[in-house]
Amino acid sequence: MNDTIGITALVPPELMYACGKRPLDVNNVVPVSSSSPSNKLCAWTAIWRDMILNGGLDIDSLVVVAGGDCHNALVDGQKAELSGMPTHYFFYPFDGDTDYLRSQLEKLVRFLGGIQDERMFSLISDLKAKGRALDELRVNDRARGSDVFSALISFSDLAGNPDIFGKTLDSVPRTDIRYSSRVALIGVPPIYPDFHETAEGFGLHVVYDELPYEFLRLGGSSLDSLASSYRDYSFAGPLKNRVRLIQDELLRRRVDGVIHYTQYACHHTLEDEIFRQHLDYPILTVQGDLPRPSTEQLKLRLEAFAEMLGVMS
């Protein structure tokens, strides 16, 4: 069986599959975890770190996305490395330098043992096109935001098997939906496993999930094209680029309001002010800490936001 490589954030999955490896986004196990890790800042990194240290994650090695993304991951990834896990560090360029990113991709390919199957590039490119079509369905009120989110969030590792994942995409229910307001969800994904369902319970239709859309937006079929696409990974680059991208999507998706999810002890929380200055929409900021079903505090905020968008506007 192919080696399974843990990834801590977005690492071009087409390249990993082309190298004959199976990526496993270690974040995907976090929302369903019930652990309360000690020595934690952000629960996302603390939980996958503990799982690696306790042998609870079935991975052969780890790629830590450090540069341009998350310093908590950089530290917790090193703890995994010190425990004996073969670990590689992948850095995005803050300034979008294509050559730099290409050299990072080359190093990654060396760590993964070289490209073995170039067909994976087109296979995954087709899946991403399918993902974008699915994303459009919810924009056009033909699919539930919760169903689409569950599918799109898995584009970071294609659930470990592109063929089966393709079938999962086909099986996402197509259904006309009713709602009171259209909202965008920006920031890191919520650690609450039922966030989208909870929002839907209050009539909020999530028509944009910022991070999963990055998974779909970027791609390529060679080191050059991957480098010139992934250099735009918005979470790793300057905020002004990210704001511009969000503004375009909010307009295109005709949203009524924006929910900014923040994670306790995550530096992205500091971005809230900037979004409030530059996004001309009602904004609700919520924060999560440990992975648990939606709390009453979260429900009150979502319900009040739905009322604000519906009744008060």
Partner 1 sequence: MNIGLDVGSTTAKIVHVEEREVIFSKVVPSHHWTELIDDGQDDRCIVSTGYFRKKVPHCAAITEITAASLGARYHNPETQVIIDIGGQDTKVIDLRSNTFVINDKCSAGTGAFLELAAHYFDIPVGSLGRLHSLATKGAQLNNTCGVFAISEMISQLVSGYSMEEVIYGLHQAFALKISQMVPSADTVMLIGGTVRNTGIIDAINNVLDSKIEVPGAPQLVNALGAALYRERLDDGR
User: Which part of the chain contacts ligand SF4 (CB under 6 A), choosing from 39-47, 58-66, 82-90, 193-201?
Assistant: 39-47
The strand order across the sheet containing 204-209 reads: 204-209, 181-187, 257-263, 283-288
CA dist., res. 116 & res. 16, Å (int):
10
Q: Which two tokens stand for residue 254?
A: 């005709």
H or E stretch at 63: strand 61-65
Of 255, 263, 243, 257, nearest in space to 190 by CA: 263
Is the four-CA dihedral 20, 66, 94, 206 of positive or negative sign? positive
Within the chain, residue ranges assigned H as helices are 13-18, 43-53, 71-82, 98-112, 119-139, 145-152, 162-170, 195-201, 210-217, 223-230, 239-252, 272-278, 296-307
For residue 48, the tally of other CB atoms under 10 A from its CB is 28
Residue span 259-278 as binding mask against ligand SF4, x where in contact by CB under 6 A, dash where not: ----x--x-x----------
Q: Is 195 in the site for ligand SF4 (CB under 6 A)?
A: no
Per rule CB under 8 A, is residue 311 in the interface with partner 1? Answer: yes
Cβ of residue 289: shortest distance to partner 1, in angstroms?
Answer: 10
Task: Give the residue, chosen from 11, 42, 258, 290, that forms a contact with ligand SF4 under the rule CB under 6 A.
Answer: 42
Position 313 contacts partner 1 (CB under 8 A): yes
Angle CA(191)–CA(9)–CA(201) in degrees, nearest 5? 25
C-alpha 135/C-alpha 142 separation (Å) is 10
313 binds, among partner 1, ligand SF4, none (CB under 5 to 8 A by kind): partner 1
Q: Does 270 bind partner 1 (CB under 8 A)?
A: no
Smallest separation, CB 73 to ligand SF4 (Å)? 5
Residues 61-80 that bind ligand SF4 (CB under 6 A): 70, 72-73
282 near partner 1 (CB under 8 A) = yes
Residue 194 C-beta: closest distance to partner 1, Å: 19
Spatial neighbors of 297 by CB under 8 A, at least 6 apart, are none
Instruction: State the binding string over 42-71 for partner 1 (x if CB under 8 A, else -).
Output: ------------------------------
- List the x/- string, 226-245, binding to ligand SF4 by CB under 6 A: --------------------
Residues engaged in binding partner 1 (CB under 8 A): 282-285, 297, 300-301, 303-305, 307-309, 311-313
Residues engaged in binding ligand SF4 (CB under 6 A): 42, 44-45, 70, 72-73, 188, 263, 266, 268
